[in-house]
Amino acid sequence: MIPRYQTPEMAAVWTDTARMQRWLDVELAAVDALEATGVAPAGVAAACRTAAPVVDDAFVAAVLEREAVTDHDVAAFVDVAQDRIGHPHGDWVHYGLTSSDVVDTALCWAMRDAVELLLAEADVLLHVLVDLARVHRHTVMIGRTHGIHAEPTTFGAKLALWALQVDRDRVRLRAARETVAVMKLSGAVGTYSNLPPEVEARVGEALGLQAVPATQVIARDRHAELLWACAAVASTCELIAVELRHLQRTEVGEVREGFRPGQKGSSAMPHKRNPISAETISGLSRVVKSNALAGLHDVALWHERDISHTTVERVELPDSTILAHYLLRRTAGLLRRLEVFPERMAENMAAGRGVVFSQSVLLELVRNGMERDAAYRVVQRAAMTSWDDGRDFVDVISSDPDVPDAVRTRLPEIVDLRRVLQHAGRAVDALDVIVPHPHS
């Protein structure tokens, strides 16, 4: 992933140094287990740990130089590690293991760490949304369907629904964490032909990973589940971003992204304040969602393994987790700096001259005995007249001779916002289950 969209914490999970450190830790844990189970002689594990190389840039460079000869990354790593530890103790490094034992175990370890970072960032976004939803619980705005005015809602309800979706993303991430927090040291085709299962169990316990049955590789549906969870996170961030992009269009003007001192919205037009954060979020989400498809393609491998998945995973797993982390952080930042304009929201709703209460009037006509289709036509005719002639909807419907007096006299109550929005706070109330209200 290019540095522009990296977060330092997540990028650190996927460096060559971090990867080879995990490889070394797996190898050393395996030597510990070999000694504990009586396969390796006493003292080998301590000697290997004492002489173990420091995994730094120089070590990585040495492995890459050796790989130019071996044309095999793990073989090169083992050669360098064994050479640094020295004979005879270094000979026990990688004893009975196949490359995928080390690579897959270390990769699952990295994925688990990545999910922990994603969960922490999702928590931050959730709390930002919850706080905003509670602040705007009574901020009235027009709800839109198909981009057209529908009925009144509140900005708080909109924010609360986003928060609830982020909470579901947390559920998906936690499930993915359990799915990927696994390991295997069962050999070339997963049959423990050269090592007893006790070695695998001990290493899994030492690393905090669950040993699972496998072929030469851990099943890739696990990796695909993590990529799906990342894609779900990206989709949630995009959902928020797309809505905020619409709401800050000049013609709508109900919210606006924060603008830092010295910031420029356009190189040519000084008046511009473009929704760059929201648009960036929308664009990057497409990459993460596309990677999820590549991950699903990796599930089907030949026989007990091939390497068609490895090239994909070198790109998609770091990129998806890094971008998902970046998207969560960028979305939280966008919301923290968001400017909200309740007065403009009220103006936009008033621009409809009351037609947004058409369903309420329709139902009142039905309640008073009018056949539904006939009532629909009466209200529709009044709404169209209101739009076309620029007249107030209540005035138009009041003057319609087909409207009974019983309905006409109740019109002020029917179009009362307090009645329409009396239950709009339920979505905000639902947040108390996941983030208890500080005043409760």
Return d(Cα 347, Cα 417) in angstroms, integer.
14
Residue 338 backbone class (left: φ over 0; alpha: ψ -120 to 50; beta: rest)? beta
**Is residue 266 annotated as a catalytic residue, yes or no?**
yes
CA-based angle 411:415:419, to the nearest 5? Answer: 115
Return d(Cα 206, Cα 13) in angstroms, integer.
19
Contact 193, 95 (CB under 8 A): no
Contact 135, 439 (CB under 8 A): no
Q: For strand 148-154 and strand 182-183, is the pairing parallel, antiparallel, or unpaired?
A: unpaired
Structure tokens at 250: 């000049």
**Among residues 87, 146, 271, 303, which one is catalytic?**
146
Our CA dihedral for 184, 188, 192, 198, rounded to 10 degrees, sits at: -30
**Is residue 146 annotated as a catalytic residue, yes or no?**
yes
Contact 195, 92 (CB under 8 A): no
**Among residues 138, 193, 266, 290, which one is catalytic?**
266
Contact 352, 48 (CB under 8 A): no
Structure tokens at 273: 């304040």
Contact 104, 180 (CB under 8 A): no
Contact 351, 254 (CB under 8 A): no
Active site amino acids: 146, 266
